[in-house]
């Protein structure tokens, strides 16, 4: 944003336009700020009287029609201008180009699942091509969430029961953060994702690689999936408990369950924990883990389990 922001506004045309409105209002605001505060402070000092001093004689001024009309009319015109400018840019924000790539977003506590037009899915990470407009078609599986791309100056709430949309046309290669901006419970602040903007060649290469069978080792693939599926929002790898229990040293450990029983964390248990998180609840943790049924494929879970085995 103008002046003091950590982000720049060349990432998209819309961002630059929004910053234009921001700048305009800042200038208007600054004008009225200097005007009012200036007189306020000037008068307060200029006409000041010393403590315990008798008040000086003051004029009996009760108003002035033309002055008051002036400061009704001028602000009215100014705010009208702000409204119109804000509205014009808003129209751009709300009108996606017809050729935009449509990416479906399903939000749930506390992750985003992206579905590409060809059916591939990814969690908390979405890759797009530079220069190609993208339209996110969004709905929520539980409560209201938000999707906010601060660098692009756009955000939209994600509702259960109906679709909302948001579009961007990234002009710069890079990694951009996505934040959840509608309060959605305990994990609200860890509900983040990234949008990776790639150039044409890289994007093509990535699509190909995704289509080809995995060349990575099973544990490497598992590591990648654990990172990208949002597990780390709730589970640590270093032994601290976050929203959920740590994954460190989990495999083979005896886990105390909420119903007083206990269970050894083997492949079956971990698979079940991922597909039906509420079937066996770990003692001391709330039943908030989302199911990954339909999000992670069978072989993905196998890879994750293989990876969890290595986190010691």
Partner 1 sequence: MPDDIAPSPPADRGYLTEKGFLSWACTLDHKRIGLLYLGTTLLFFLVGGVFALLLRMKLMYPGEELFSNKAYNVFFTLHGIMMIFLFIIPAIPSALGNFLIPLMIGARDVAFPRLNIFSYWIFLAGIIVILASLASPLDTGWTFYTPYSATTGAAVTVLSFGIFLVGMSSILTGLNFIVTIHRLRAPGLTWFRLPLFIWSMYATSIIQVLATPVVGITFLLLAAERIFGVGFFDPAKGGDPLLFQHFFWFYSHPVVYVMILPAMGIVSEILPVFARKPIFGYKGIAYSSLAIAFIGFLVWGHHMFVSGMSDVAGIIFSFLTFFVAVPTGVKVFNWIATLYRGSISLDAPMLYSLTFIFLFIIGGLTGPFLGALATNVHLHDTYFVVAHFHYTMMGGTVIGLFAGLHYWFPKMFGRMYSERRALTAWLLIFFGFNITFFSMFILGVQGMPRRWAEYPERFQPLHIASTAGSWFLALGTVLMFWNLFRSLFRGGPAQPDPWGSKTLEWRTGSPPPTHNFAEIPTVTEWPYGFGKKEKERE
Interface residue list for ligand CUA (CB under 6 A): 110, 145, 180, 182-184, 188, 191
Residue 106 host element (H or E): strand 101-108
Does the protein bind ligand HEA through residue 294 (CB under 6 A)? no
3: left (phi over 0), alpha (psi -120 to 50) or beta: left
Residue 138 host element (H or E): strand 134-140
Compose the 76-105 pattern: x for residues touching ligand HEC by CB under 6 A, - for all others.
------------------------------
By CB atoms closer than 10 A (0-12, 13-18, 19+), residue 235 is: buried
Stretch that binds ligand HEA, among 47-55, 58-66, 73-81, 241-249 (CB under 6 A): 73-81
Tell me phi and psi for residue 10, to 5 degrees: -95, 5
Does the protein bind ligand HEA through residue 36 (CB under 6 A)? yes
What is the nearest approach in angstroms of partner 1 to the Cβ of residue 210? 28
Q: Between 33 and 183, whose beta carbon lies closer to ligand CUA?
A: 183
Does the protein bind ligand HEC through residue 231 (CB under 6 A)? yes
Does the protein bind ligand HEC through residue 156 (CB under 6 A)? no
Does the protein bind ligand HEC through residue 184 (CB under 6 A)? no
Residue closest to ligand HEC (Cβ): 244
Does the protein bind ligand HEA through residue 38 (CB under 6 A)? no
What is the radius of gyration, based on Cα positions, of the chain?
A: 28
Q: Between 26 and 236, whose beta carbon lies closer to ligand HEA?
A: 26
Q: What is the number of other CB atoms lying within 10 angstroms of the CB of residue 108?
A: 21
Stretch that binds partner 1, among 138-146, 223-231, 253-261, 276-284 (CB under 8 A): 138-146
What is the nearest approach in angstroms of ligand HEA to the Cβ of residue 146? 11
Does the protein bind ligand HEC through residue 288 (CB under 6 A)? yes
Helix, strand or coil, per DSSP, at residue 141:
coil
Does the protein bind ligand HEA through residue 190 (CB under 6 A)? no
183: left (phi over 0), alpha (psi -120 to 50) or beta: beta
Q: How far apart are CA 200 and CA 285, in angstroms?
A: 45
Q: How far apart are CA 119 and CA 117, in angstroms?
A: 5
Scan residues 77-96 and list those touching ligand HEA (CB under 6 A).
78-79
Residue selected from 75, 97, 204, 239 as contacting ligand HEA according to rule CB under 6 A: 75
Residue selected from 11, 12, 18, 303 as contacting partner 1 according to rule CB under 8 A: 18
Helix, strand or coil, per DSSP, at residue 293:
strand
Which regions of 145-222 does DSSP assign to beta strands (E)? 145-149, 154-158, 164-168, 174-179, 192-198
Does the protein bind ligand HEC through residue 235 (CB under 6 A)? yes
Q: 277 Cβ partners below 8 Å, 6+ apart?
A: 287, 289, 290, 291
Query: Would you state the structure tokens that stand for residue 289, as one six-digit string?
Result: 């883990």
Residues forming the site for ligand HEC (CB under 6 A): 109-111, 187, 229-231, 233-235, 243-245, 250, 255, 265, 270, 273-274, 277-278, 281-282, 285-290, 292, 304
Residues forming the site for ligand HEA (CB under 6 A): 32, 36, 75, 78-79
């Amino acid at each position: 944003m103008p002046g003091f922001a950590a982000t720049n506004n060349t990432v998209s045309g819309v961002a630059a336009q929004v910053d234009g409105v921001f700048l305009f209002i800042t200038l208007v605001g600054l004008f009225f700020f200097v005007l009012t505060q200036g007189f306020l402070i000037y008068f307060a000092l200029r006409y000041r009287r010393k403590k315990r001093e008798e008040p000086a004689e003051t004029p009996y001024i009760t108003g002035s029609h033309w002055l008051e009309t002036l400061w009704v009319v001028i602000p009215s015109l100014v705010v009208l201008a702000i409204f119109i400018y804000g509205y014009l840019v808003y129209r751009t924000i709300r009108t996606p180009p017809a050729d935009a790539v449509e990416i479906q977003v399903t939000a749930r506590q506390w992750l985003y699942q992206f579905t590409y037009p060809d059916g591939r899915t990814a969690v908390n990470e979405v890759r797009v091509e530079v220069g190609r407009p993208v339209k996110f078609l969004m709905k929520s599986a539980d409560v209201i969430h938000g999707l906010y791309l601060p660098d692009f100056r756009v955000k939209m709430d994600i509702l259960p029961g109906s679709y909302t949309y948001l579009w961007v046309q990234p002009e710069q290669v890079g990694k951009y953060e996505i934040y959840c901006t509608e309060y959605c419970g305990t994990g609200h602040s860890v509900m983040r994702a990234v949008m990776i903007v790639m150039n044409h060649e890289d994007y093509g290469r990535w699509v190909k690689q995704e289509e080809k069978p995995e060349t990575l080792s099973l544990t490497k693939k598992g590591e990648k999936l654990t990172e990208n599926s949002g597990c780390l929002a709730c589970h640590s790898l270093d032994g601290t408990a976050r929203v959920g229990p740590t994954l460190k040293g989990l495999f083979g450990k005896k886990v105390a369950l909420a119903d007083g029983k206990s269970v050894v964390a083997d492949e079956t248990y971990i698979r079940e924990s991922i597909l039906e998180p509420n079937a066996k609840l770990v003692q001391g943790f709330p039943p908030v883990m989302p199911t990954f049924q339909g999000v992670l494929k069978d072989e993905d879970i196998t890879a994750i389990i293989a990876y969890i085995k290595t986190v010691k």
